[in-house]
């Protein structure tokens, strides 16, 4: 069984170098419009299929589609050993591949690449904890859960909760609230319950080496 | 009920759930679109059902489809339905769908306001959380305005989970509704010391983002943050704080010194945890003041270097992401930071960086390119550029090649061509660059060519020769008829050949090249330049041939012009056509004269006489203002909201003010100006859609204003170009070497002499270069104009500029004003005291609407109460009942509701309306500040008896400042005393073209604006009124002819300004 973060030891106590890595200290144009830290986050597969998208900037659907298409192509064209950063239009793209999934974030010029990598990694860890060694299919079939986790972790492009434990706790309690309802109808229809509750399809996994 | 649930769940059994949909899509790989369209049909069916579970399921599926790129905007209303479900399960799905699918223009968003408000105040923290999360994705200015209050309350919620989210979302609210910043800020500041670290970090986040936009306002928070920095152990928070300090240090240099110690501590800690190399990162960003000790700098620097050269991060292998490429990237990034402060130490590692240019990874190459910019010197420029040129040839992918091209030009042209010693070399580099396929930077090359040719006089002969060749081979550049970027170069070439045509070796040939039929395929603006410069060339040719006894050659040239020009006369481009037909007629006339053997050359060349001089960007300042020209005088009537509160004239009322002019402006002291500028900037900064004008590039060639605006077109050349007869830049590298050697030898001889001599050839610019570089004398000299006065600078230009500036300022002020007064950003203001503006009825409202008129009156007994009497008139044919009147409260004004009702409940109107009947109802509002006019949004719901349907009517209540005034009689002696007391601020306004008797005018002011006349003498009257909060408002109205001037005094300048505005409006409408 292949998990996205298997055998990647998680560095728990982040060293203080993060501290000094803080983004640019001289904003280029102080009065240029600074929107949110993270502009958007995309999850897509090696085949270029979008698995998750979260936009923190208001854009029309058409633009979103265009950006997604271009970005997926650019990122997929890069070789595995290349570095995780890339300048695209006036944004910086930070991406990382976990098994068959690419996690890709867009940040502004002044923002810090490393912290974004860290955010991506955190998110993957959260998914991993929640689903119990997560795989791409978990995200496909429970995409709303993946969104819920993301929403608990990031709000409007900012990391809102840095403690993994707290995020998971919030999600679990919210899930509990949701589950109550399923138990209400569950005597009525066993069938419904078994179909709706997140049954994890574990039959196919991609055997892709972990980077 | 139970049956319904059972039925619902049985229905569900036959529905697809999300998993089925996903599975289905995976199984229908070949006909995915078809499968999905059937799914969408099913979903539409499901959405029609009453069962909310089915709906939620459908919405969930839609969210998935939306992600796959299908349009689901049609289901927006259903999403709102699911959002408003009372069950958390559905609510969660609904909000998720909304956050994914809604955007600012989704019109159903306005329906959600109350639902969101309800969820925000829900006892269940997860309901609130879900609503906040959703809101963060689709908050609109309207939502922000309406919900700002609720979110602010949530900032002090008992649960940190909610507080945290509320604090973060406040930032979004500030962006959409900047007015909320002021009232919310104290609470935000409080949150910096919240016991919960999550909330604290959220507050730091928000303040940091705010400070990045406008650091000045947050300087006062520095001590607080300093404390946080030394005490906090949360690294995420620390990062943010340091970022914030980064924004603050440029404003407060002392801060930098103070930060050294805690920062070094942090760095030591990170050293001890043995992790990384890149400590220097943010550090160097801070070090721009060179306040950090060199030791630390070099320490960090060495570590970066090690990682770069060895390519092997020492301990970082354990770290998850730090691949070699990542380390390299970061190393280069760090170097670029060091470069700013310690350029020498980076320069010594040129080879290493040049190596990185060969990297496979484009990101790394781009980083290395960035570094090169700062590394060049006179010595190594040629070498570096040569390397880059090789890369240009090798590079695949146009983006990278374009990047290289711009970098080459940037490197060469930086600080006034400081590092270029041989301009012939540079011109040939530029010419070589024109051979690039598919570049979109043709205009950049063109502008460089023009710049160099104009400013370096010595190079002109060479440049002209090159450009002539280029023109001759123009067919190669424009090869396969494609409109491409590189043909912009021809623009420069044609212009240079024309302008400096006296240097041309064979002008006739060039003229011939410029008039080839193929030229007609070029873009219009280039053709125009061709035509114009053909005329210049023609003039030169005539001049050259004048001396000859045989005039046939000259006549042949004229004939050629006459033959070729009609092609351009037919051009579709207006500019080309116009110029061509002008010149054609001119040439025809010349030909006539030539046939009569008249000498025309002198006169023809007089058309293009005069040399073009470079002008320094600041030269305008040196032009003296001619006497009698008042640049600060208003050309148009100044905006009414002039800052007259700043003035403090001695007289009670200023006497006749002839014009709102200069003194008004100059008296405004520096501070005030700065404050206003700040306010304006802040407003701009707060406006997420304000795009700052890019600083105009002050290029010296004024003849070619179009270069920047030339549309960029793509080139698509299949054949690589080899332009015959063009020199290769490489040879210059060799030549340069020889030249330098020679110079060195010569120099040795003259060394002693030279020392005493002043170096006159170069400007001051180059003093900064290191000694060894200074020894390299350039082969050509650039005209570096710094502060010289241009010869032809015209005076009226300045006036124009000034005027434009003023106008701009006016506009800005106006904008500011609008912004301030009513949040909905404009629209017509009603003059009538408190009219109800009816909004356009919603589309689903087809019912004939009742009309309403209302009057707003202040309550004298209570300074904060305003009574609004609304007249409801039923203009429909049906009986209306159960009317409910509701207004969305703002921060400032609230509808008074009976005790026990919630803050968002409507008030019942105590009567029913038969058709055609009108009645009046009164509502009391509590108002905090009365100095600003205000608009409140509200709704009236009612039931139509016949159809027994609920209908809704939206309206706006406009609280003008006048409505806060109460007619109060005042005696003239009390009035005089009041004016003399001196604590009143004054302001004035002028009304033009008021065509009514003076007593009508006074009556009008009394009636519409609640004033009473104190005294009237001839065409002059004093008036008085009081606001409900006891502000005195005094007016002195004078009339002469059609002009009415109103001088006013009040103890509240804002209120006064607004009242005057309203008075002005009253008269502008009559």
ipTM (interface pTM): 0.74
pLDDT tier at B780, thresholds 50, 70, 90: low
pLDDT tier at A44, thresholds 50, 70, 90: very high
A34 beta partners: none
C-alpha A142/C-alpha B404 separation (Å) is 45
pLDDT at B543: 85
pLDDT digits (tens, 9 = 90+) for B355-410: 778 777 788 888 888 888 777 888 888 888 888 888 887 777 777 788 888 888 88
Q: What residues of B are in contact with residue A178 (Cβ under 8 Å)?
A: 88-89, 92
Interface list for B 395-434 with A (CB within 8 A)? none
Residue B570 tokens, joined: 């037919």
* Between residues B129 and B341, the one the model is more confident about: B129
Distance from CA of B308 to the nearest CA of A (A): 14
* Between residues B396 and B178, the one the model is more confident about: B178
pLDDT at B478: 61
Poorest-confidence range of B5-19, B356-370, B844-858, B935-949? B844-858
Q: Does B137 touch chain A (CB under 8 A)?
A: yes
* Between residues B763 and B512, the one the model is more confident about: B512
Query: Best of A23, A24, A25, A139 to disrupt the B interface by mutation (most B CBs within 10 Å)?
Result: A25
Q: What residues of A are in contact with residue B124 (Cβ under 8 Å)?
A: 177
Q: What residues of A are in contact with residue B175 (Cβ under 8 Å)?
A: 35
Closest-CA residue of chain B to A172:
B126
Q: Does B9 touch chain A (CB under 8 A)?
A: yes
Mean pLDDT confidence for B57-64: 87
Determine, for residues B263 and A181 on separate chains, whether the beta-carbon distance falls below 8 Å.
no
Q: Which of A17, A162, A170 sits opposite B201 (nearest CB)?
A: A162
Mean pLDDT confidence for B517-537: 86
pLDDT at A136: 84
pLDDT digits (tens, 9 = 90+) for B441-466: 788 888 888 888 888 888 888 899 88
Determine, for residues A141 and B18 on separate chains, whether the beta-carbon distance falls below 8 Å.
yes
Is it the case that residue B741 has pLDDT exceeding 60?
Answer: yes
Determine, for residues B6 and A86 on separate chains, whether the beta-carbon distance falls below 8 Å.
no
Chain A and chain B share a number of CB contacts under 8 A equal to 256
* Between residues A30 and B724, the one the model is more confident about: B724
B1049 beta partners: B986, B1034
C-alpha B606/C-alpha B784 separation (Å) is 28
Residue position matching structure tokens 């609904």: B94
Question: DSSP per residue over B280-295, as a string?
Answer: HHHHHHHGGGS-S-HH
pLDDT at B1037: 86
pLDDT at A106: 92
Determine, for residues A58 and B103 on separate chains, whether the beta-carbon distance falls below 8 Å.
yes
Q: Which of A20, A52, A117 sits opposite B281 (nearest CB)?
A: A20
Phi, psi of B476 (to 5 degrees): -70, -40
Poorest-confidence range of B5-19, B405-419, B536-550? B5-19
Q: Which of A14, A52, A158 sits opposite B235 (nearest CB)?
A: A14
Q: What residues of B are in contact with residue A144 (Cβ under 8 Å)?
A: 18, 60, 63, 93, 96
Cα-based angle B129, B132, B138 (whole degrees, multiple of 5): 145
Mean pLDDT confidence for B967-979: 79
Cα-based angle B280, B282, B287 (whole degrees, multiple of 5): 80
Closest-CA residue of chain B to A33:
B688
Determine, for residues B67 and A56 on separate chains, whether the beta-carbon distance falls below 8 Å.
no
Is it the case that residue B777 has pLDDT exceeding 50?
Answer: yes
pLDDT at A56: 85
Determine, for residues B212 and A34 on separate chains, whether the beta-carbon distance falls below 8 Å.
yes
Query: Best of B21, B32, B73, B126 to disrupt the A interface by mutation (most A CBs within 10 Å)?
Result: B126
| Beta-carbon contacts of residue B374 (< 8 Å; ≥ 6 apart) | B336, B339, B340, B343, B346
Poorest-confidence range of A121-130, B212-221, B562-571, B755-764? B755-764
- Report the sign of the C-alpha dihedral through residues B372, B378, B379, B384, in that order: positive
pLDDT at A103: 92
CA B839 and chain centroid, separation: 31
pLDDT at A105: 92
Mean pLDDT confidence for B975-1000: 80
Is it the case that residue A149 has pLDDT exceeding 50?
Answer: yes
Distance from CA of B412 to the nearest CA of A (A): 23
Mean pLDDT confidence for B833-839: 38
Q: Which residues of B1031-1061 are buried (b: 16+ CB within 10 A; e: fewer)?
A: bbbbbbbbbeeeebbbbbbbbbbbbbbbbbb
pLDDT at B747: 61
pLDDT at A104: 93
pLDDT tier at B324, thresholds 50, 70, 90: low
Q: What residues of A are in contact with residue B307 (Cβ under 8 Å)?
A: none
pLDDT digits (tens, 9 = 90+) for B416-438: 888 888 888 888 888 888 877 66
Residue position matching structure tokens 């005039």: B551
Is it the case that residue B872 has pLDDT exceeding 80?
Answer: no
Determine, for residues A83 and B234 on separate chains, whether the beta-carbon distance falls below 8 Å.
no
Q: Does B64 touch chain A (CB under 8 A)?
A: yes
Q: How many CB atoms lie within 10 A of CB B728?
A: 12
C-alpha B687/C-alpha B177 separation (Å) is 9
Residue B805 tokens, joined: 């500036």
Determine, for residues B320 and A121 on separate chains, whether the beta-carbon distance falls below 8 Å.
yes
Q: Does B3 touch chain A (CB under 8 A)?
A: no
Query: Best of B13, B237, B265, B281 to disrupt the A interface by mutation (most A CBs within 10 Å)?
Result: B281
Closest-CA residue of chain B to A191:
B13
pLDDT digits (tens, 9 = 90+) for B239-264: 777 777 777 777 777 777 777 777 76
Distance from CA of A82 to the nearest CA of B (A): 6
Mean pLDDT confidence for B174-198: 86
Determine, for residues A26 and B250 on separate chains, whether the beta-carbon distance falls below 8 Å.
yes
Residue B581 tokens, joined: 């037909």
Closest-CA residue of chain A to B138:
A58
Determine, for residues B238 and A34 on separate chains, whether the beta-carbon distance falls below 8 Å.
no
Is it the case that residue A62 has pLDDT exceeding 70?
Answer: yes
C-alpha B343/C-alpha B337 separation (Å) is 10
Interface list for B 302-321 with A (CB within 8 A)? 318-321
Q: Which of B96, B165, B320 sits opposite A155 (nearest CB)?
A: B165
pLDDT at B683: 61
Closest-CA residue of chain B to A142:
B19
Asked if B321 and A14 touch (Cβ cutoff 8 Å), the reply is no
Is it the case that residue B855 has pLDDT exceeding 80?
Answer: no
Helix (H) / strand (E) containing B957: strand B949-959
* Between residues B321 and B1025, the one the model is more confident about: B1025
Q: What residues of B are in contact with residue A15 (Cβ under 8 Å)?
A: 269-270, 273, 275-276
Mean pLDDT confidence for B74-86: 88
Distance from CA of B678 to the nearest CA of A (A): 11
Q: What residues of B are in contact with residue A60 (Cβ under 8 Å)?
A: 103
Q: B913: which DSSP letter?
A: B
Determine, for residues A185 and B64 on separate chains, whether the beta-carbon distance falls below 8 Å.
no
pLDDT digits (tens, 9 = 90+) for A161-197: 878 888 888 888 888 877 554 444 444 434 333 333 3
Is it the case that residue B176 has pLDDT exceeding 80?
Answer: yes
C-alpha B1012/C-alpha B1003 separation (Å) is 9
Determine, for residues A25 and B243 on separate chains, whether the beta-carbon distance falls below 8 Å.
yes
pLDDT at B333: 74
Interface list for B 890-919 with A (CB within 8 A)? none
Mean pLDDT confidence for B1039-1053: 84
Mean pLDDT confidence for B799-822: 43
pLDDT tier at B542, thresholds 50, 70, 90: confident
Query: Best of A22, A34, A211 to disrupt the B interface by mutation (most B CBs within 10 Å)?
Result: A22
pLDDT at B862: 62
C-alpha B85/C-alpha B98 separation (Å) is 13
Determine, for residues B169 and A173 on separate chains, whether the beta-carbon distance falls below 8 Å.
no
Closest-CA residue of chain B to A5:
B320
Query: Best of A38, A156, A192, A198 to disrupt the B interface by mutation (most B CBs within 10 Å)?
Result: A156
Mean pLDDT confidence for B602-623: 78
Poorest-confidence range of B105-119, B280-294, B425-439, B634-648? B280-294
Asked if B356 and A83 touch (Cβ cutoff 8 Å), the reply is no
Determine, for residues A20 and B267 on separate chains, whether the beta-carbon distance falls below 8 Å.
yes
Reference A51, options A111, A127, A110, A121; nearest CA is: A127
Q: Does B168 touch chain A (CB under 8 A)?
A: yes
Poorest-confidence range of B113-117, B144-148, B221-225? B221-225
Reference B968, options B880, B1029, B899, B1027; nearest CA is: B1027
Mean pLDDT confidence for B8-26: 68
Determine, for residues A148 and B168 on separate chains, whether the beta-carbon distance falls below 8 Å.
no
pLDDT at A41: 92
Residue B611 tokens, joined: 């040399």
Asked if A36 and A158 touch (Cβ cutoff 8 Å), the reply is yes
Determine, for residues A30 and B93 on separate chains, whether the beta-carbon distance falls below 8 Å.
no
pLDDT digits (tens, 9 = 90+) for B915-926: 777 777 778 888
Residue position matching structure tokens 């539409």: B44
- Report the sign of the C-alpha dihedral through residues A107, A111, A114, A115, in that order: negative
pLDDT at B172: 87
Q: What residues of B are in contact with residue A34 (Cβ under 8 Å)?
A: 209, 212-213
Helix (H) / strand (E) containing B1001: helix B998-1009
Q: Does B299 touch chain A (CB under 8 A)?
A: no
């Amino acid at each position: 069984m292949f998990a996205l973060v298997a055998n990647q030891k998680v560095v728990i106590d982040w060293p203080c170098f993060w501290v000094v890595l803080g983004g640019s200290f001289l904003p280029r144009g102080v009065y240029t419009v600074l929107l949110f830290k993270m502009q958007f986050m995309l999850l897509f597969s090696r085949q270029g299929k979008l698995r998750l998208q979260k936009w923190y900037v208001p854009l029309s659907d058409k633009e979103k589609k265009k950006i997604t298409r271009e970005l997926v192509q650019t990122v997929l064209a890069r070789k595995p050993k290349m570095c995780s950063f890339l300048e695209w239009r006036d944004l910086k793209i930070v991406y990382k591949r976990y098994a068959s999934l690419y996690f890709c974030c867009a940040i502004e010029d002044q923002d810090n690449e490393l912290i974004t990598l860290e955010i991506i990694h955190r998110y993957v860890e959260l998914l991993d904890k929640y689903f119990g060694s997560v795989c791409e299919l978990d995200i496909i079939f429970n995409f709303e859960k993946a969104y819920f986790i993301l929403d608990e972790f990031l709000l409007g492009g900012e990391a809102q909760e840095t403690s993994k434990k707290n995020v998971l706790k919030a999600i679990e309690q919210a899930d509990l609230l949701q589950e109550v309802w399923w138990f209400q109808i569950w005597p009525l229809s066993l069938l419904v319950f078994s179909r709706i509750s997140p049954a994890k399809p574990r039959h196919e996994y991609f055997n892709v080496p972990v980077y | 009920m139970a049956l319904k649930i059972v039925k619902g769940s049985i229905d569900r059994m036959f529905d697809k759930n999300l998993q089925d949909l996903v599975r289905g899509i995976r199984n229908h790989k070949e006909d995915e679109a078809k499968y999905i369209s059937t799914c969408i049909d099913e979903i539409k069916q499901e959405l029609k059902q009453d069962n909310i579970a089915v709906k939620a399921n459908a919405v969930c599926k839609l969210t998935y489809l939306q992600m796959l790129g299908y349009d689901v905007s049609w289901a927006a209303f259903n999403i709102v339905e699911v959002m408003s479900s009372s069950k958390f399960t559905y609510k969660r799905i609904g909000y998720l769908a909304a956050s994914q699918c809604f955007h600012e223009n989704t019109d159903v968003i306005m329906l959600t306001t109350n639902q969101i408000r309800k969820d925000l105040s829900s006892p269940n923290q997860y309901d609130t959380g879900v609503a906040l999360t959703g809101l963060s994705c689709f908050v609109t200015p309207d939502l922000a305005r309406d919900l700002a209050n609720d979110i602010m309350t949530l900032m002090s919620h008992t649960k940190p989970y909610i507080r945290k989210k509320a604090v973060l979302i406040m930032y979004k609210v500030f962006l959409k509704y900047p007015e909320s910043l002021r009232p919310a800020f104290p609470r935000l500041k409080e949150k910096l010391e919240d016991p919960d670290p999550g909330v604290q970090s959220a507050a730091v986040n928000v303040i940091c983002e705010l400070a990045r936009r406008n650091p000045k306002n947050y300087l006062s928070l520095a001590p607080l943050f300093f404390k946080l920095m030394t005490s906090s152990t949360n690294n995420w928070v620390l990062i943010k704080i340091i970022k914030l300090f980064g924004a603050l240090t440029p404003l407060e240099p002392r801060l930098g010194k103070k930060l050294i110690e805690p920062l070094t501590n942090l760095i030591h800690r990170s050293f001890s945890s043995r992790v990384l190399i890149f400590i220097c990162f943010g550090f160097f960003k801070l070090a721009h003041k060179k306040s950090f000790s060199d030791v630390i700098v070099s320490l960090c620097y060495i570590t970066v270097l090690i990682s770069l050269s060895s390519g092997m991060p020492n301990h970082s292998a354990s770290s998850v992401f730090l691949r070699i490429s990542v380390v390299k990237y970061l190393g280069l990034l760090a170097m670029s930071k060091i470069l700013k402060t310690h350029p020498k130490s980076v320069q010594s590692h040129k080879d290493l960086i040049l190596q990185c240019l060969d990297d496979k990874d484009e990101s790394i190459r781009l980083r290395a390119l960035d570094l090169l910019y700062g590394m060049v010197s006179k010595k190594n420029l040629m070498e570096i550029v040569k390397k880059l040129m090789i890369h240009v040839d090798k590079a695949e992918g146009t983006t990278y090649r374009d990047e290289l091209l711009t970098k080459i030009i940037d490197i060469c042209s930086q600080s006034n061509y400081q590092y270029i010693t041989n301009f012939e070399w540079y011109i040939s580099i530029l010419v070589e660059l024109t051979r690039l396929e598919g570049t979109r930077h043709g205009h950049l090359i063109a502008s460089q060519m023009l710049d160099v040719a104009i400013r370096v006089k010595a190079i002109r002969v060479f440049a002209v020769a090159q450009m002539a060749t280029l023109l001759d081979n123009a067919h190669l550049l424009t090869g396969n008829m494609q409109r491409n970027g590189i043909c912009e170069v021809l623009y420069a070439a044609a212009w240079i050949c024309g302008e400096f045509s006296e240097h041309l070796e064979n002008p006739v040939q060039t003229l011939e090249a410029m008039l080839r039929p193929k030229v007609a395929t070029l873009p219009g603006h280039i053709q125009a330049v061709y035509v114009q410069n053909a005329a210049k060339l023609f003039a030169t040719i005539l001049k050259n041939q004048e001396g000859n006894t045989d005039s046939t050659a000259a006549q042949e040239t004229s004939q050629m012009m006459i033959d070729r020009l009609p092609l351009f006369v037919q051009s579709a481009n207006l500019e080309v056509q116009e110029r061509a037909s002008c010149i054609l007629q001119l040439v025809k006339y010349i030909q006539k004269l030539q046939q009569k053997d008249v000498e025309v050359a002198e006169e023809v060349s007089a058309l293009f006489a005069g040399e073009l001089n470079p002008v320094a960007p600041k030269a305008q300042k040196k032009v003296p203002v001619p006497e009698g020209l008042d640049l600060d005088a208003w050309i148009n009537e100044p905006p009414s909201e002039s800052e007259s509160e700043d003035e403090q004239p001695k007289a009670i009322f200023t006497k006749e003010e002839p014009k709102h002019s200069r003194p008004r402006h100059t008296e405004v002291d520096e501070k005030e100006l700065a404050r206003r500028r700040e306010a304006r900037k802040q407003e701009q900064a707060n406006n997420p859609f304000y795009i700052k004008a890019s600083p105009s590039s002050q290029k010296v060639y004024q003849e070619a204003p179009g270069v920047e605006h030339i549309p960029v077109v793509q080139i698509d050349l299949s054949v690589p170009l080899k332009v015959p007869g063009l020199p290769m830049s490489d040879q210059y590298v060799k030549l340069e070497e020889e030249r330098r050697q020679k110079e060195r030898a010569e120099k040795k001889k003259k060394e002693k002499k030279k020392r005493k001599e002043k170096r006159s050839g170069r400007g001051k610019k180059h003093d900064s270069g290191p000694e060894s570089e200074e020894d390299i004398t350039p082969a050509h000299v650039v005209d570096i104009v710094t502060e010289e006065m241009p010869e032809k600078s015209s005076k009226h230009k300045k006036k124009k500029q000034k005027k434009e500036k003023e106008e701009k300022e006016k506009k800005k002020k106006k904008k500011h004003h609008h912004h301030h007064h009513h949040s909905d950003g404009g629209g017509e203001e009603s003059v009538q005291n408190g009219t109800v503006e009816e909004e356009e009825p919603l589309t689903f409202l087809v019912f004939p609407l009742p009309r309403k008129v209302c009057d707003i009156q202040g309550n004298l007994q209570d300074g904060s109460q305003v009574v609004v009497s609304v007249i409801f008139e039923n203009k429909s044919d049906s009986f209306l009942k159960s009317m409910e009147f509701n207004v969305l409260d703002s921060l400032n004004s609230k509808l008074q509701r009976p005790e026990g009702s919630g803050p968002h409940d409507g008030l019942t109107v105590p009567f029913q309306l038969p058709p055609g009947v009108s009645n009046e109802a009164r509502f009391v509002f509590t108002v905090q500040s009365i100095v600003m006019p205000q608009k409140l949004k509200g709704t009236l719901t009612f039931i139509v008896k016949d159809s027994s349907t609920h209908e809704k009517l939206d309206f706006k209540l406009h609280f003008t400042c006048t409505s806060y005034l109460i007619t109060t009689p005042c005696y003239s002696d009390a009035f005089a005393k009041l004016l003399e007391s001196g604590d009143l601020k004054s302001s004035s306004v002028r009304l033009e073209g008021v065509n009514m008797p003076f007593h009508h005018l006074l009556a009008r002011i009394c009636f519409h604006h609640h004033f009473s006349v104190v005294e009237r003498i001839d065409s002059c009257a004093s008036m008085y009124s009081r606001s409900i909060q006891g502000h005195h408002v005094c007016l002195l109205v004078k009339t002469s002819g059609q002009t009415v001037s109103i001088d006013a005094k009040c103890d509240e300048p804002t209120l006064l300004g607004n009242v005057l505005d309203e008075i002005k409006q009253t008269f502008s409408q009559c």
